[in-house]
């Protein structure tokens, strides 16, 4: 049996937001539980504002969770500090969405790629540092000469490759990729996706792949967690999600994927109504106002994420 390398239980993260002169506490992540098996790619999908990026940032401690449990190889991430936290961050690396904003414009590509190694003193010498930078740039399809260039001299795809190189240089166990292709042209998206799949095989990486596009998630992930308004509403293997989505929200996501053959379109998955406000959440299911299967219980009680379909997947829906 494969080993669980990353465990997230009942994760909750919120932010203070000021709007119209009033302060609000917005619950970005509301009780998310996930596990990542060694060598696996777990996709997290949902529309903007669902909390998927905050899950990733909470795992690497870029934002501080309110409560919950995050364990990397059995060690507590939330309570880690000092050298223990630095060691974890060498193993839990993040690829950010915007390749234009994630690289320091005043630092060369080589210096940006080597940043984690410099901070943690992993290089034996200057020659070792230069060799590691060159090796890592080559691994992501960039000429080692790019080490002396600056971000403004690279295309968007090249910048994202440099961002991936920065993530993999310390030889991490887990990559958290936050919308890594959404800011790229379609032709470049495919190249970067193929690169990440190749790196997974070559380096034995485990990966959390975050995206709003369920089509992209379907290409790279082994399992998929579907998020809506801070909660996981369906969790299953990728083939099961793509072939037969069960939760009404997952069905709506699948229906939104363009299909060249009209006969393959999903019927009955059209959303109605507006999503609830982040500032005033409903008491029951957050999807009730848009759900075609809604009934009275949905407005009163939040559905638990439970086994459905003979235990082959998890879904949070009173109608299932």
Over residues 86-124, the pLDDT tens digits come to 999 999 999 999 888 889 999 999 999 999 999 999 999
Question: Does residue 165 form part of some domain?
Answer: yes
Tens-digit pLDDT profile for residues 16-66: 988 878 888 899 999 999 999 999 999 999 998 899 999 999 999 999 999
pLDDT at 260 exceeding the cut of 70: no
Question: Does residue 217 form part of some domain?
Answer: yes
Question: Does residue 238 form part of some domain?
Answer: yes
Tens-digit pLDDT profile for residues 168-213: 999 999 999 999 998 888 889 999 999 999 999 999 999 999 999 9
Question: Does residue 320 form part of some domain?
Answer: no
List, in sequence order, every beta strand (DSSP E) within 159-290.
Answer: 174-178, 206-211, 223-228, 231-237
Tens-digit pLDDT profile for residues 151-165: 999 999 999 999 999
Q: Encode burial over 283-316: b for 16+ CB neighbours within 10 A, e otherwise.
A: ebbbbbbbbeebeeebeeebbebeebeeeebbbb
**pLDDT at residue 232, as a whole number:** 97
Question: Does residue 262 form part of some domain?
Answer: yes
Q: Encode burial over 217-238: b for 16+ CB neighbours within 10 A, e otherwise.
A: bbbbbbbbbbbbbbbbbbbbeb
**pLDDT at residue 265, as a whole number:** 57
Question: Does residue 55 form part of some domain?
Answer: yes
What is the CATH classification number for the domain harbouring 50? Answer: 3.40.50.300
Question: Does residue 117 form part of some domain?
Answer: yes
> Could you list the residue range(s) of the whole structural domain that residue 74 is in?
4-315
User: How many structural domains are present in the chain?
Assistant: 1
């Amino acid at each position: 049996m494969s080993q669980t390398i990353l465990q997230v239980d009942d994760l909750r993260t919120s932010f203070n937001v000021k709007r119209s002169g009033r302060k609000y506490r917005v619950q970005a992540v509301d009780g998310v539980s996930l596990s990542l098996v060694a060598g696996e790619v777990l996709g997290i999908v949902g529309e903007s504002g669902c909390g998927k990026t905050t899950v990733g940032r909470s795992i690497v401690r870029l934002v501080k969770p309110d409560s919950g449990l995050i364990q990397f190889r059995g060690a507590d991430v939330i309570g880690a500090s000092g050298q223990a936290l630095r060691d974890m961050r060498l193993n839990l690396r993040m690829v950010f969405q915007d390749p234009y904003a994630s690289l320091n414009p005043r630092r060369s590509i080589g210096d940006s790629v080597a940043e984690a190694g410099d901070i943690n003193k992993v290089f034996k010498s200057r020659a070792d540092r230069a060799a590691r930078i060159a090796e890592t740039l080559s691994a992501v399809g960039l000429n080692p000469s790019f080490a002396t260039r600056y971000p403004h001299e690279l295309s968007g795809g090249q910048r994202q490759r440099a961002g991936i190189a920065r993530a993999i240089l310390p030889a991490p166990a887990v990559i958290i990729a936050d919308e890594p292709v959404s800011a790229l042209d379609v032709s470049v998206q495919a190249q970067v996706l193929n690169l990440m799949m190749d790196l997974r095989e070559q380096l034995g990486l485990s990966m959390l792949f975050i995206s709003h596009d369920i089509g992209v998630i379907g290409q790279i992930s082994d399992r998929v967690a579907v998020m809506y308004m801070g909660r996981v509403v369906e969790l299953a293997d990728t083939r099961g999600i793509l072939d037969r989505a069960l939760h009404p929200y997952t069905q709506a996501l699948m229906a939104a994927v363009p299909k060249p053959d009209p006969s393959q379109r999903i019927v009955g998955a059209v959303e109605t109504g507006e999503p609830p406000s982040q500032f005033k959440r409903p008491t029951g299911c957050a999807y009730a106002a848009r759900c075609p299967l809604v009934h009275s219980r949905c407005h009163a009680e939040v559905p638990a994420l439970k086994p459905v379909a003979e235990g082959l997947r998890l879904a949070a829906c009173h109608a299932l």
